[in-house]
Amino acid sequence: MIRFELMRAQHIDEILEIEKKCFPDDPWTRNMFESELGNKMSVFVCGIDEDSEKVAAYGGMWLIADLSEITNIAVDPAFQREGIGGRLLSLLINICRERKAAAVHLEVRDGNIPAVSMYEKFGFKRVGLRKKYYGGKHDAILMTKIL
């Protein structure tokens, strides 16, 4: 069973391990996760595996006025395709609704089929493309869900 809770400093070591597996080319650093903790605009959630009490997934966003931007979302490869990413995304969307956000935005690397499929399943639409956004090589697809 996975339970979701707000990210705390003690989760970051385990998050960094997953981050390296999920984004080997450009993982977020410890500093980046730590700065989310001190950022009032940020909502960052962890999924904890209740068997091991270890982090299995995490995701976060910024909420600014009535706009929201998902900044990161990842599921440990050992836990992928079990519905956890979808649960995490719907949790973030529900928080947006509670906070009266009008839309949720995100960027995803072109060719990231699992992520693009998940976002489309949850009603995100492609609204733009940023050429060579990731490492000067891969395009970013801009996606939006109107709430």
**Contacting positions for ligand COA (CB under 6 A):** 22, 73-75, 80-86, 108, 112-115, 117-118, 121
Shortest reach from residue 34's CB to ligand COA, in Å:
20
Which of residues 86 and 128 has its CB atom nearest to ligand COA in the complex?
A: 86
The least distance separating ligand COA from the CB of residue 113, rounded to whole angstroms, comes to: 5
CA dist., res. 45 & res. 131, Å (int): 30
Q: Select 42 or 112, whichever has its Cβ closest to ligand COA.
A: 112
135: Cβ contacts below 8 Å, ≥ 6 apart: 25, 26
How far apart, in Å, are the Cα atoms of 138 and each of 18, 55, 108, 142?
22, 29, 10, 13
133 annotated active-site: no
Of the listed 14, 19, 36, 119, which one is catalytic? 119
Please return the burial class of 67, using the count of CB atoms within 10 Å of its CB with bins 0-12, 13-18 and 19+. Answer: middle
Is 120 annotated as catalytic? Answer: no
Residues serving a catalytic function are 107, 119
